[in-house]
Structure 1
Amino acid sequence: MNLNSAPITLKFEGNKVSCSSCSLSQLCLPHGLDTQELETLDGIVHHKPQIERNTILFRSGSTLKGLYAVRSGSFKTYRSTSDGAEQITGFYFPGELLGLDGFGDNIHRCTAQALESSSVCALTIQDFENLCCKIGGLRRQLMHLIGTEINQDHETLMTLGQMRGEERLAAFLNNLSLRLEQRGFSASEFNLSMPRHDLANYLGLAVETLSRMFSRMQDEGILTANRRNIHILDWSKLRVLAHQDQGCGNNY
């Protein structure tokens, strides 16, 4: 599917997935729910087995129809500027929610697109609203996730506004490694699912500048970068450069 294709239509009557048995449940909506509440949630959450790379999940300006938890793969979100250019606003990985941007007036403010072959768990807004009336823990978890989104926006603004280019890249890599580690992946060696032009766009850098940043970090012994494969060699140097000596916050 090309970049200008219409959003996919998720069939919510599809395969059900057990939230109680999902390895990502502690990072997602089910966190903090008791056994009975999990069973209730299990009954209405549905799984979209495969979403191909570049597929649009939802588009800016479209009506909010559901919440989507990333089950595998990764997504980017972006908004279009007045001249039609793309401004990337975030990257999302397994256990993270897409669709919260539409909660204000039921209209999505950004477009969500798969960076690779991915899958999501889907929950219709009607089902979600009904559940929130019955399950207090779900409301609390949603408030927590919305708070995390707000903190993410604040961290991003601070990073782009106050840090030099190399510091922005270091902060992003430090944060990404933490998020991957929380999901059971290696924190030291991983592949970037986003192409460099997307990462450069997100960090407010030219692609050539980003490439120079990676080369400089390699020369300084901080990491090795082979195409999209990143291997962190010196955590101390990386965190000092990112101004996050004690680790970093969540969700760049």
Structure 2
Amino acid sequence: MPLGQRAGLRSRAMYRTMRTARRARCGTDVDCADCPSVRRCWGEKLPQGFGLHVQRQPRLERGTTLFAQGERFEAACIVVAGCLTLRETMPDGTERIAGFRLPGELVGLEGWSRGVHSFTATAACSTTVCRLKWPQRVSGSAALLERLLRKTAGQLDSAAKPWAGLPAIERVAAFIEDFARRMRVSDASLLLPMTRAEIGSHLGLAEETVVRALAQLQRSGRLEVKGRSVTLQSPPHRSAAFAAS
């Protein structure tokens, strides 16, 4: 490898390390037991004295990178508000959308085993995350591990939905229903932070196919679509991917 190229790689690696260090320094220490978002993040109120502290990061505006693919793993994060898009650059240079992380979901945990992050996480909209201090000793260490395992299992279950075997229209319907379920919306209205192209990349469909599928779902009365605003019919239709859920 030419010297100049090696120097460029070192410079980029140094920049990523410095950027991560800056994020860690500017985080605000938060005791999860005292945080009003604790139920959204952990599904229940934590007992006082549980001892789980996180670092609330400055708000990420749309397009801001939380961490990059190949960046050294330092901590997993939990999404408090907003949405993160996970992008993966393939060996041939093409990019795919590996998934989306919503409030209450973990992001970056896969880097724990590999030592580096497998994806680039960027904010799809104004997003707030907290960094889990890693490692940390808390009075409820066993309970914390159980919560982390439950979250990881739930996210794996969501990722394993058989979208690939469905027709395009049902694939898009399943994605919308899954998004609504994960957002735990109190009504049938959603605001999708991602573009049609990003949905298509995630589902293995062309952008035009996603647009046509949404139009078909609207004509059939299953959805009402206005830009990024989507309203599910009430009660929501259960697509084939979730019929057994």
Shorter chain as denominator, the TM-score bin is 0.7 to 0.9
**C-alpha deviations, 1:76-133, integer Å up to 9, x for none?**
11211122111111111111111111121221111111111211111232xxx23268
Q: 2:144 aligns with which of 138, 148, 160?
A: 138
Q: 1:178 aligns with which of 181, 191, 210?
A: 181
Q: Which region of structure 1 is more displaced relative to structure 2, 146-155 or 164-173?
A: 146-155
Matched, 1:41 2:52: yes
Matched, 1:123 2:132: yes
1:80-99 correspondence to structure 2 within 5 Å = 80-99=89-108
Supply the AA of the counterpart residue of 2:111.
G
Supply the AA of the counterpart residue of 1:14.
G
The 8 Å contact of residues 222 and 235 in structure 1, kept in 2 or not, is answered as no
Give the TM-score normalised by the residue count of structure 1.
0.81
Match of residue 202 from structure 1: 202
- Deviation, 1:134, is 6.1
Supply the AA of the counterpart residue of 2:32.
C
Structure 1: segments with no counterpart, 5+ residues: none
Aligned length: 228
Matches of 1:140 and 1:170 in 2, distance apart? 32
The 8 Å contact of residues 12 and 123 in structure 1, kept in 2 or not, is answered as no
**C-alpha deviations, 1:163-207, integer Å up to 9, x for none?**
1111111111111111222xxx44411110001110111111111
The 8 Å contact of residues 86 and 119 in structure 2, kept in 1 or not, is answered as yes
The 8 Å contact of residues 170 and 242 in structure 1, kept in 2 or not, is answered as no
Supply the AA of the counterpart residue of 1:145.
K
Cα-Cα RMSD: 2.4
The 8 Å contact of residues 59 and 111 in structure 1, kept in 2 or not, is answered as yes
Q: Which region of structure 1 is more displaced relative to structure 2, 86-95 or 130-139?
A: 130-139
Matches of 1:209 and 1:13 in 2, distance apart? 42
- Deviation, 1:31, is 4.6
Q: Aligned pair in 2 of structure 1 residues 13, 123: CA closer, same or farther (>3 Å)?
A: farther
Matches of 1:30 and 1:206 in 2, distance apart? 36
Matched, 1:230 2:230: yes
Q: Aligned pair in 2 of structure 1 residues 109, 196: CA closer, same or farther (>3 Å)?
A: same
Matches of 1:30 and 1:124 in 2, distance apart? 19
**C-alpha deviations, 1:2-61, integer Å up to 9, x for none?**
xx9x76431345322342243442343585743221xx113xx11113112111111111
- Provide the secondary structure at the position in 2 that maps to 1:145: helix
Match of residue 163 from structure 2: 159
The 8 Å contact of residues 87 and 201 in structure 1, kept in 2 or not, is answered as yes
Matches of 1:215 and 1:153 in 2, distance apart? 25
The 8 Å contact of residues 217 and 223 in structure 2, kept in 1 or not, is answered as yes
Matches of 2:126 and 2:91 in 1, distance apart? 30
- Deviation, 1:141, is 1.2
Which protein shows a greater Rg?
2
The 8 Å contact of residues 77 and 113 in structure 1, kept in 2 or not, is answered as yes
- Deviation, 1:135, is 1.6
Q: Aligned pair in 2 of structure 1 residues 138, 196: CA closer, same or farther (>3 Å)?
A: same
- Provide the secondary structure at the position in 2 that maps to 1:49: coil
- Provide the secondary structure at the position in 2 that maps to 1:79: strand
- Provide the secondary structure at the position in 1 that maps to 2:27: coil
Matched, 1:20 2:18: no
